[in-house]
Structure 1
Amino acid sequence: MTTFLLVCLCGGLGAVTRFVFNTSIQRWWDRAFPLATFVINVIATFCAGLAAATWVSQSVPESTYLLFVTGFLGGFSTFSTAINEMVSLARRERFMTAGLYLLATVAVPMVCVICGWWVGLACA
């Protein structure tokens, strides 16, 4: 029960952190491309790769991994918002931006997970 409550708490902290990042980025980015969500998901996927590598190399216990990845990063990352933004761009007939955003939202986080994994293994 303690782990459950801690994951919930970490998820809440991740959501608040996402709100702060999102608001901060949107204050100075006023273009069609949804940069705030993209940056948040790039950070989250890098951190997920880093956390996975440190857990696999047994540098951190499973409970810490769960709190960080399932809790904090689960609340911080926002792929559902990214999908919603793609649909919104397409509905406004910004097909090129929607397509680029789709490609970037799939490809870049994959690279970030791999980079995070490499950094995690190098530091472990």
Structure 2
Amino acid sequence: MDPTIVPTLRRLERSRFRAKFFLSEGDLAYCRARGRDTVTEHAVRFVTERLAPAQPHKDGKQTPWRGHPVFVAQHATATCCRGCIAKWHGIERGRELEPEEIARLVELILAWLTAQLTRDANRR
């Protein structure tokens, strides 16, 4: 795991806006039913198609607020648009994301999803 993931998640948790996101029962069930591999494929596809281009289509509005657990995770981890990525992760706008950057953003999304699933399992 990238050593910056945990400190980044902690920093995001201190944001009132980012901390308000959580997975619904339906999102949790989706993750459990589909499994990590499928959710990972979705995260990679969403980041690659919607965020990686230098000038993403509808930047700032390309990530729905709900409808898929990855969308919720993207808002919680500030990986929802290039503006948030620039502000929170220091990756400037106006250039295509590098494969390593895509991988790190996906890893951050998956770490947040895993934390949500773990919290849910501990509550049961």
Q: TM-score with structure 2 length normalisation?
A: 0.31
- The structure with the larger Rg is 1
Please identify which structure carries the higher helix content: 1
Q: TM-score with structure 1 length normalisation?
A: 0.31
RCO comparison, higher one (Cα < 8 Å, 6+): 1
